[in-house]
């Protein structure tokens, strides 16, 4: 009885890291349903691209789960110095064999768990590798007097930006009217913000 209770308690425990959350999210997609898992693991204002940006809960409200969920895995995780924001990137494979990549912004929640706030990606011709442990990179902490600035929004397009509370990890997405979009992540290296993810998605034909 005690081992069973411990297992049940563990099932409800929040994911410790953003990588843990990504893996639990992917596992849930296979057990409770793909879109059900997307709703469970996202904040109320989470954004996904279809290809224009849309509120994830509005878009998925009445969408039925597919018979078989997509499979995905993290290959790298970029964290803010304060540990409250992360961006995971990795690969995915559909049941039909088609492959691609994703980049997902995760924010630490008040209960100690993680939820995603932005999710995007695109197709690939060759699948990304599936490492046993993804590469984890933590941004440098800003010292007193450091001024890294903020990433500017792009004009003449749908755009949004965000950053960690300490400013050490920042992200920006831009979507053009034709669906062409860019998602960029910047991490502080002790001297300046450097680009660590630069996803560019062509317009749909």
Number of folded domains that form the chain: 1
- What pLDDT digit, counting tens, does each position of 42-100 carry? 999 999 999 899 999 999 999 999 999 999 999 999 999 999 999 999 999 999 999 99
Q: What tokens were used for 84?
A: 């409250």
Query: 195 pLDDT exceeds 60?
Result: yes
DSSP code of 204? P
Q: What tokens were used for 49?
A: 């691209």
Q: What is the CATH number of the domain that holds 103?
A: 3.10.450.50
Residue-number span of the structural domain to which 78 is assigned? 2-201
> Which pLDDT score, from 0 to 100, does residue 145 have?
57
Longest dimension (CA), the chain: 61
Q: What pTM was computed for the model? A: 0.89
- What pLDDT digit, counting tens, does each position of 16-36 carry? 999 999 999 999 999 999 999
Residues 139 and 82: their CA atoms lie apart, in Å, by: 9
Query: 5 pLDDT exceeds 60?
Result: no
Tell me which range, 10-19, 148-157, 187-196, is most confidently predicted by mean pLDDT: 187-196
């Amino acid at each position: 009885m005690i081992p069973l209770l411990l297992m049940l308690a563990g099932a409800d425990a929040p994911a410790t890291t953003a990588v843990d959350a990504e893996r639990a999210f992917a596992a849930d997609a296979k057990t409770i349903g793909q879109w059900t898992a997307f709703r469970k693991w996202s904040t109320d204002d989470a954004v996904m691209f279809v290809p224009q940006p849309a509120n994830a809960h509005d878009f998925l409200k009445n969408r039925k789960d597919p018979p078989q969920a997509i499979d995905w895995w993290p290959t790298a995780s970029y964290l803010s110095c304060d540990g409250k924001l992360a961006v995971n990137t990795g690969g995915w494979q559909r049941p039909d064999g088609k492959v691609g990549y994703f980049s997902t912004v995760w924010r630490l929640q008040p209960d100690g768990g993680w939820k995603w706030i932005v999710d995007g990606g695109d197709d690939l011709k060759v699948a990304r590798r599936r490492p046993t442990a993804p590469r984890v990179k933590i941004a440098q902490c800003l010292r007193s007097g450091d001024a890294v600035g903020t990433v500017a929004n792009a004009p003449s397009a749908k755009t949004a930006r965000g950053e960690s509370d300490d400013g050490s990890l920042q992200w920006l997405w831009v979507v053009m009217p034709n669906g062409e979009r860019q998602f960029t992540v910047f991490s502080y290296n002790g001297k300046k913000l450097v680009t660590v993810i630069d996803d560019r998605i062509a317009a749909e034909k």
